[in-house]
Amino acid sequence: MNQGKYVYAQIIEFLPRRIFDRMVKKYDGNKYVKHFTCWNQLLCMVFGQLTNRDSLRDLVVAINAHSNKSYHLGFGKNITLSNLAKANLKRNSKIFEEFAYHLISIAREGATKEDFQIKGQIYAFDSTVIDLCLSVFWWARFRKKKGGIKLHTLYDIKTQIPAFIHISSASVNDMNAMDYLFYEANAYYIFDRGYIDYERLYKITQHSAFFVIRGKRDLKFRRMYSNKYDKSSGVKSDQIGKLTGFYASKDYPEKLRRVKYFDDEKKITFLFLTNNFTLSAQQIAFLYKNRWQIELFFKCIKQH
């Protein structure tokens, strides 16, 4: 229904202004500011994202082309390239980071799926490298003639929305980003085998959370007993035991579960490690299969 407002003005009405003002006050974002406030800055950058602007200059040109509508769109007045660039450079990024996480929490609440096979929160954690032009982003040196950053993402499988994002230099080892995670009790965390660090995995167990990770072929594991399983389901073995490696057994002293599963479509045998002893072996394989959703998310953001 036409309410006499621009489409963009109707979209930004969904943003909780009071919450944002509270965060601005927390970090003194509008201190010594007369005209171009943090709210104006936010709306300008959101407009640039939604309209697919290529640069700040391109964004300012697009905004000034509608200068007579700036007030109604929430941009403020006298938007210049230098003012916008200085605001992005000097203002505390925590204002926008905390506001983004607040919006993410709202989106996750509205997108929760209750018909998923397994109850509880389910996350996939992985990272991807975003290539950058080294001549422009000189601070993001990755290799001799290549620049880039690494995007570490905790992806909510049920809502298909990122729950946590950490940006680091591209040379940082993936496992180091696990130290920034806050583990929820009874939640499931799915990792690829590049994240095998038994000391860090043991922290997940200590927080009463569960993990599913793809094991390596040279895994040193002593079987204590085996669980019953359906041989026609693709499960090859379901064993409970302990790690026998010298350092691995010290880093993870408790029992673990090892599941071997044959994927009939890809003709590949997968080896999974988990600290969950209640789910069936098929459900463990199902959890890891859903890890692929984070790869689709990375593909989407790189394309757009």
- Rounded Cα distance between 210 and 204, Å, is 7
- Whether 114 shows a pLDDT value over 80: the answer reads no
pLDDT digits (tens, 9 = 90+) for 62-83: 888 888 888 778 888 778 899 8
Give the residue from 155, 109, 177, 174 showing the smallest Cα distance to 287: 155
Q: Is 246 or 67 the better-scoring residue by pLDDT?
A: 246
| Phi (first) and psi of residue 126, to 5 degrees | -160, 175
Domain ranges within the chain, ordered by starting residue: 7-102, 111-303
Is 105 within 8 Å of 40 (Cβ atoms)? no
pLDDT > 70? residue 122: yes
Q: Tokens in use for 36?
A: 């171009």
Q: What percentage of the chain exceeds 70 in pLDDT?
A: 98
Taking 90 as the threshold, does the pLDDT of residue 304 lie above it? no
- Position 203 confidence tier, pLDDT thresholds 50, 70, 90: very high
Q: Tokens 């996350």 — which residue?
A: 123
The sign of the dihedral angle between the CA atoms of 64, 69, 70, 74 is: negative
- Sort 277 into a burial class: Cβ within 10 Å, 0-12 / 13-18 / 19+: exposed
CA–CA separation, 160 vs 205, rounded Å? 25
CB atoms within 10 A of CB 285: 21
User: Can you name the residues that pair with 258 across neighbouring β-strands?
Assistant: 239, 273
- Please state, in angstroms and as integers, the Cα–Cα distance from residue 69 to each residue in 7, 184, 301, following that order: 12, 46, 31
User: Which tops the pLDDT comparison, 6 or 215?
Assistant: 215
pLDDT surpassing 90 at residue 10: no
3-state helix, strand, coil in the chain (%, to 5): 40, 25, 35
pLDDT exceeds cutoff 70 at 2: no
Distance CA 242, CA 249 (A): 7
Task: Tokens 């890891």: give the residue.
Answer: 288
Q: CA-based Rg of the chain, rounded to a whole angstrom?
A: 24
Q: 138 pLDDT band (50/70/90 cuts)?
A: confident
* Dihedral of the alpha carbons of 216, 218, 220, 223, in degrees to the nearest 10: 70
State the pLDDT at residue 66. 80
- Rounded Cα gap, residues 279 and 23, in angstroms: 42
State the fold for domain 111-303. Transposase Inhibitor Protein From Tn5; Chain A, domain 1 (3.90.350)
> What residues are paired with 213 via a beta bridge?
191, 273
Give the tens place of pLDDT for each residue, 270-279: 999 999 999 9
